[in-house]
Amino acid sequence: MPRNIIDVTDLTVEEIDQLIATAEDIIANPVKYQDACAHKQLATLFFEPSTRTRLSFESAMLALGGSVLGFSSANSSSTAKGETVGDTVHTVSCYADIIAMRHPKEGAPFAASQVSEVPIINAGDGGHNHPTQTLTDLLTIHREKGRLDNFTIGFCGDLKFGRTVHSLVNALSRYENINFVLISPLELKLPRYVKEEALKKKGIPYTQTTDLESVIPQLDILYMTRVQKERFFNEEDYLRLKDSYILTPEKLESAKADLSILHPLPRVNEISVAVDKDPRATYWKQVKNGKYIRMALILKLLGIEV
Amino acid sequence: MNIDSIQNGIVLDHIQAGKSMDIYKYLHLDELDCSVAIIKNVRSGRMGKKDIIKIDSPMEVDFDVLGYIDSNITVNVIRNGKRVEKKHLELPKKLVNVIHCKNPRCITVSESQLDAIFVLSDAEKHTYRCAYCDTAIDKKF
């Protein structure tokens, strides 16, 4: 059975450290890797729209000398004819060497992994998981702070449906001495199962609050998220909650000088554009890091050593 | 009240009082042609009251289903009128097509041909999680 990455915890801490080391080497020596995946094909199966993740995967494979095929919406696949996820993926696994898939239904990549003949990478499944964003976040934190332990991180916004938050909380819970501060409206708190599994069971302390400004001075990292319209069944709830938190230069006045502001993007208006000029804004670097860590992951899953 | 003892079959003992009909349903005992006796509210030194089911035919019992419903049940295998085996159940680590995910966003809800797989995540609280979407289901029996 091929190796799949459905959840970030499918990787051990040691494997994540190796991926980060490979990504760092790719950043330092891109030429060394430019033909590493020659004659290999990556299929990007995006049953839900995406700009960053799909292009990041495709850019990663092209930078490794491989090629890409796939589709960018369910309407342009046989899903529109009623084909199951399993059958679509089984078919594509006959053409490609590795598959990155995004699907609006939670658990779809796990279902795909049961029938695929090639490695499956979960590129986001509904509000559930998004492991390659988490790897991107870990690489970014590592590059900014030089470590993945001993800091205070605040997660702010939609912590209920924010799959990037769930995955990152899970991943960071395996490192030492991290203080979690969970900032959200009451309706969008981190789900019980994430708190139970990632934090409570391991005895990791965390704080929950609705007030960003009161906790901002203690943070080393601030992970902002968008309130996602597509996750709400009821538009009224979305409209009421969408502007719960807007990060502005004024709010950052009391923050630490070496704070790193991350955001998985796309943003709507939860980070004011004026913040982009602040040296603490790290989210554009994060986008770039996403390509490098995906390159490292593709190499690992294809078993290619450079 | 007299119930004939069975010659070849299975006796499910120490069922929590009132739960025998759930077991009857989940083990599909209604599909059997043989005699099946459901004895409710039997006096028990250990349990106060208990239910017992006697099945007068050798059959394959789904221990996962039984263990999920009530892991305190004991299974007695009877051959030629004598007990030849007594099994104590455990809470199963994995359940396949026993319970179904209630998360409307889960792929198993929209694609019902997929096996409904649940994994035990907390034995103390009897909590199972959907292998696809991680939604927790606390034991409902």
Mean pLDDT value across residues A254-270: 95
Check residues A35 and A79 and name the one with the higher pLDDT.
A35
- pLDDT for B1: 61
Check residues B105 and B140 and name the one with the higher pLDDT.
B105
Placement of tokens 């009421």 in the chain: A240
How far CA A129 is from CA of A8, A161, A258, in Å, comes to 8, 10, 29
The dihedral of CA A25, A26, A32, A33: what is its sign?
positive
- pLDDT for A49: 84
Q: Compute the distance between CA of residue A191 and CA of residue B105 in angstroms, rounded to an integer.
A: 15
Q: Compute the distance between CA of residue B93 and CA of residue B131 in angstroms, rounded to an integer.
A: 12
Which amino acid does the sequence have at A177?
N
The dihedral of CA A101, A103, A109, A115: what is its sign?
negative
User: Which residues make Cβ contacts (< 8 Å) with residue B137, sequence separation at least 6?
Assistant: B99, B101, B102, B118, B127, B128, B129, B130
- pLDDT for B12: 94
When the pLDDT of each residue in chain A is averaged and rounded to a whole number, the result is 93
- Residue A252, pLDDT > 80, answer yes
Min Cα–Cα distance to chain B from A191, Å: 10
Domains of chain A: 8-129+289-302 (3.40.50.1370), 132-286 (3.40.50.1370)
Paired tokens of A209: 């609050």
- pLDDT for A241: 76
Check residues A165 and B139 and name the one with the higher pLDDT.
A165
Residues of A in contact with B129 (CB under 8 A): 193
Length of chain A: 306
Q: Quick one: which H or E segment has residue A156?
A: strand A151-156
Could you tell me the strand order of the sheet in which A206-209 lies?
A206-209, A178-183, A151-156, A221-224, A260-262
Could you tell me the strand order of the sheet in which B9-16 lies?
B36-44, B48-55, B9-16, B74-79, B82-88
Q: What percent of chain A has pLDDT over 90?
A: 79
Residue of chain A whose Cα is closest to the Cα of B108: A107
Query: ipTM of the assembly?
Result: 0.85
Q: CB distance from B107 to chain A under 8 Å?
A: yes
Q: Compute the distance between CA of residue A122 and CA of residue A118 in angstroms, rounded to an integer.
A: 13
Beta bridge partners of B138: B127
Beta bridge partners of B127: B122, B138
Contact of A13 with A174, CB cutoff 8 Å = yes
Check residues B108 and A192 and name the one with the higher pLDDT.
B108
User: Which residues make Cβ contacts (< 8 Å) with residue A279, sequence separation at least 6?
Assistant: none
Mean pLDDT value across residues B133-140: 82
Residue A84 to residue B130, Cβ atoms within 8 A: no
Tens of pLDDT, residue by residue over A275-287, are 999 999 999 999 9
- Residue B141, pLDDT > 70, answer no
Residues of A in contact with B110 (CB under 8 A): 105
Residues of B in contact with A84 (CB under 8 A): 111, 113
Catalytic residue ranges of A: 52-53, 81, 102, 130
Mean pLDDT value across residues B61-87: 90
pTM for the predicted model, two decimal places: 0.86
Q: What secondary structure does DSSP assign to B16-67, as a single string? A: ETT-HHHHHHHTTGGG--S-EEEEEEEEETTTEEEEEEEESS-----HHHHH
Residues of B in contact with A126 (CB under 8 A): 105, 133
- Residue B102, pLDDT > 80, answer yes
- pLDDT for B126: 87
Q: CB distance from B135 to chain A under 8 Å?
A: yes
Domains of chain B: 9-88 (3.30.70.140), 94-136 (2.30.30)
Contact of B117 with A175, CB cutoff 8 Å = no
Q: CB distance from B137 to chain A under 8 Å?
A: no
- Residue B116, pLDDT > 80, answer yes
Confidence of residue A237 (pLDDT cuts 50, 70, 90): confident
Q: Compute the distance between CA of residue A111 and CA of residue B101 in angstroms, rounded to an integer.
A: 14
- Residue B139, pLDDT > 80, answer no
Number of Cβ within 10 Å of residue B71's Cβ equals 16
Paired tokens of A160: 């209920």
- pLDDT for B140: 57
Q: What secondary structure does DSSP assign to A208-248, as a single string? A: EES-HHHHGGG-SEEEE----GGG-S-HHHHHHHTTS--B-
Q: Compute the distance between CA of residue A306 and CA of residue B11 in angstroms, rounded to an integer.
A: 63
- pLDDT for B15: 94
Q: Which of A84, A172, A91 is nearest to A135 (CA)?
A: A172
Instruction: Classify the phi-psi angles of A193: left when phi > 0, otherwise alpha if psi is within -120 to 50, otherwise beta.
Output: alpha
Confidence of residue A231 (pLDDT cuts 50, 70, 90): low
User: Which residues make Cβ contacts (< 8 Å) with residue A2, sequence separation at least 6?
Assistant: A116, A117, A118, A119, A120, A301
Dihedral of the alpha carbons of B65, B69, B73, B74, in degrees to the nearest 10? 0
- pLDDT for B69: 86
Confidence of residue B62 (pLDDT cuts 50, 70, 90): confident
Check residues B69 and A105 and name the one with the higher pLDDT.
A105
Contact of B29 with B36, CB cutoff 8 Å = yes
Contact of A77 with A49, CB cutoff 8 Å = no
Confidence of residue A80 (pLDDT cuts 50, 70, 90): low
Length of chain B: 141
* Omega before residue A266 within 30° of 0, cis: yes
